[in-house]
Structure 1
Amino acid sequence: MNTIKSVMSKALSHAKIIPHRSATRGHSDHGWLNTYHSFSFADWFNPNFTHFGSLRVLNEDRVGPNSGFPTHPHRDFEIFSYIISGELTHRDSMLKKGDEGAQSDKFYRMHRGDVQFTTGGTGIAHSEQNEHNKDTAHFLQIWAIPWKRGLTPRYHTLHFDDEKKRLGFVPILSPLKGGPDATHQQEQAAEPTIDGTIPIHADFVMSAGIIAPQKKFEWVVGANATENPKRKVYIHLAMTKGGKARIRLNGREETYNEGDGAFIDDVRAGDKLSVESVGEAEAEVVLLDTA
């Protein structure tokens, strides 16, 4: 047991942590959309920020009232929206406005704590609009590269309570049971490796936590749910508290402000990463664990 602990602590001390400061993100303000890009996206390209493992896009978006993304296509990406505040309405392109009915895969009005997930696969089209008259929608839009192309398009939406996020990191996405060779039945069943999460077609786990000042959360790399023991973890501190939130990683001196991210490399499944809140306000942290 002591040998195992020694090996883990040695691996962790050699973890490579590289900051990705908010100011180094791409930024565009279109009036209706104020967006920050952690990775190259749309008209902004930076060769240093193209992807990290299977993580391809992390945009922090604010969409003004009565505006949004009109019907547009997606293909061969796993795409998910993490709602921070306001509301965002998803409409499948096959559904006419006025025929929505109750919340469903074809129509979903998302609020704080909701996560909506899309498998683009062979092709899908939908719109994401802020239909509220006065409130801005603030959310993270994240894309992952799937383990294979040509998947069947699909939507999933789940809600994750803030109360649980204040107790520790809450897993939100985990790999589909069956992996890249999942059968048709496994695809239809859409069971995630971690109960209560949304299944993703990638060796990828997403979690989120809300950390009170002077509190510390731990994350077990791989979450006992991934195939490849060699991992990369990207951590993002959402812009939720007007700059009053701040975090420290693994007890190292460097601190991270709202909008900052960190690339954590040279870690393995089973390693423990600590995230400590050292600001004046609680820190909303999103953690993306990828092969």
Structure 2
Amino acid sequence: MKALPHAKIIPRRSAARGHADHGWLNSFHSFSFASYYDPEFMNFGSLRVLNEDRVAAHSGFPTHPHRDAEIFSYILSGELTHRDSMVRKGDEGVEGKKFYHMRRGDVQFTTGGTGIAHSEMNESDYPVHFLQIWALPWSQGLKPNYHTKSFSEEAKRKSFLPILSPLAAGRGASPAEEEAAVPKIPDTIPIHADFVMGAGLIAPDKRFKWTVGGGADVVDSIKDRKVYVHVPMTKNGSAKIRLDGREQAVLGEGDGAFVSGVNVGDELSVESIGEAEAEVIILDSN
């Protein structure tokens, strides 16, 4: 039975995504990106890019610029080394602005703002698998910045764990408030957008619920939220979920779903109905 009869849920099948295999990079695009263009898939709310990338050993993205985008990498497996134009080298395994060597559970976040350059290289002997996600910021010309944080696997197995939430000071943040970088939800990474990200690891026959908007007093836009659900390809096809109890909203690995018409406080049911634990990413925006 539908718990949210007012919600519209449209699956985005893995095979329908854009795809580019460059040898060193095997990338699937949920939204228009690079040589893949589809006017029907330009963005969903402030979510602009969702690429599921695999980068071969000893290769990667050389130094390149970004501006006026909120960009984050969610590591699924392997290792990814980050270097940038602000901090050339950091302490391996240490969270914060000097963190650069990323493994599973780590999230690297970039505010491109007025301009920044960085590289993302796989310097290991094994492939790295990660999600590259971009959001549209609420204003342009922001001061460039980085944040990196590790998120507990154990916590993700209990319920959806918030990963990103809006900068608490909002659009009119002062330089001091920008530097303090306090997020609306404690222990998350702050983003310059009306945007919340969550992640969960759901055992077979278990169900999590995502509270739209991340809970009370987190986001500004409370009506008609745009929630994108993605199931990364991590279990060789053995993971599967069902949204809101709907048989037409069953997602396998690589699949996603556009959930619209939902409001802050609505609870979206996510059931794990496959043979393996399902890793589920929630991207919730205005």
Report the TM-score, using the length of structure 1 for normalisation. 0.93
2:242 corresponds to 1:248: yes
Pick the aligned partner of 2:27 from 35, 38, 48: 35
Give the Å deviation of 1:100.
4.8
Structure 2: segments with no counterpart, 5+ residues: none
Q: Secondary structure at the match of 2:164?
A: strand
Q: Secondary structure at the match of 1:186?
A: helix
Give the Å deviation of 1:183.
1.8
The alignment-based identity, stated in percent, is: 65
Kindly provide the amino acid, as one letter, of the partner of residue 282 in structure 1: E
Pick the aligned partner of 1:26 from 12, 18, 26: 18
Give the Å deviation of 1:211.
0.4
Q: Secondary structure at the match of 1:112?
A: coil
Give the Å deviation of 1:86.
0.2
Pick the aligned partner of 1:14 from 1, 6, 25: 6
Per-residue Cα deviation, 1:205-254 (whole angstroms, up to 9, x for no partner): 00000000000000110112111102110000010000000000000112
Q: How do residues 72-221 of structure 1 correspond to structure 2 at under 5 angstroms?
A: 72-93=64-85, 100=90, 102=92, 103=94, 105-106=97-98, 108-132=100-124, 134-221=125-212
Give the Å deviation of 1:105.
2.8
Kindly provide the amino acid, as one letter, of the partner of residue 274 in structure 1: S
CA distance in 1 between partners of 2:277 and 2:63 (Å): 36
CA distance in 1 between partners of 2:83 and 2:151 (Å): 21
Per-residue Cα deviation, 1:162-205 (whole angstroms, up to 9, x for no partner): 11100010000000011111122211110000000000000000
CA distance in 2 between partners of 1:61 and 1:137 (Å): 8
Structure 1: segments with no counterpart, 5+ residues: 1-7
Kindly provide the amino acid, as one letter, of the partner of residue 262 in structure 2: V
Q: Secondary structure at the match of 1:262?
A: strand
In the other structure, the counterpart of 2:278 is 283
CA distance in 1 between partners of 2:275 and 2:143 (Å): 45
Instruction: List structure 1 runs of 4+ shifted beyond 6 angstroms.
Output: none
Q: Secondary structure at the match of 1:222?
A: helix
Contact (CA 8 Å) 2:57, 2:127: kept in 1 or not? Answer: yes
